[in-house]
């Protein structure tokens, strides 16, 4: 079975797993130790992962060799859109009775799909290695 995006998708998923572990750890610690609610904990976890994600995805996943500041601006826009997609899903899951910790983990799925597609085809598009797989 050929994975859409080839090696780029595998690298993205690898970075995403590491970023998800880091983000969920921060979310759970913020809820358990910091006493934050679901929204504040979610914001905190995703903000912590933002710089890590940009650094790893720009340099390793997509091997971007363009200007970083314009790419970072686009990445922030993608992050904002994907984050709202994530948060909507998390809150909807909680609303229908799914445990809030499980809902936080489920919310990673739509966030990951949206971020990958927009990063590959919009943020890091100018890179010659981006489409090489």
Instruction: Give the pLDDT confidence of 49-107 residue by residue, as tens digits.
Output: 888 899 899 999 999 999 999 999 999 999 899 989 899 999 999 999 999 999 998 98
Tell whether 1 is covered by a domain. no
Q: What is the pTM of this model?
A: 0.70
Domain residue limits at 97: 6-132
Longest dimension (CA), the chain: 46
Q: Copy the structure tokens of residue 106.
A: 């489920």
Looking at the structure of the chain, the number of domains it has is 1
Whether residue 132 is predicted with pLDDT greater than 50 in this model: the reply is no
Please tell me the distance from the alpha carbon of residue 112 to that of residue 120, in angstroms, as a whole number: 12
Q: Does any domain span residue 99?
A: yes
For residue 91, CA distances in Å to 1, 23, 62, 100 come to 34, 17, 31, 8
Angle at 32 between CA 90 and CA 96, to 5 degrees: 25
Judge whether 95 lies within some domain.
yes
């Amino acid at each position: 079975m050929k994975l859409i995006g080839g090696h780029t998708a595998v690298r993205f998923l690898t970075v995403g797993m590491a970023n998800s572990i880091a983000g969920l750890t921060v979310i759970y610690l913020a809820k358990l130790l910091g006493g934050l609610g679901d929204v504040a904990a979610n914001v905190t976890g995703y903000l912590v992962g933002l710089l890590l994600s940009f650094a790893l995805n720009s340099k390793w996943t997509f091997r971007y060799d363009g200007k970083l500041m314009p790419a970072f601006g686009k990445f922030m826009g993608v992050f904002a859109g994907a984050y709202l997609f994530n948060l909507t899903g998390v809150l909807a899951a909680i609303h229908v009775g799914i445990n809030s910790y499980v809902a936080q983990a489920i919310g990673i799925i739509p966030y990951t799909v949206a971020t990958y597609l927009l990063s590959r085809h919009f943020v890091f598009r100018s890179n010659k290695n981006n489409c090489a797989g």
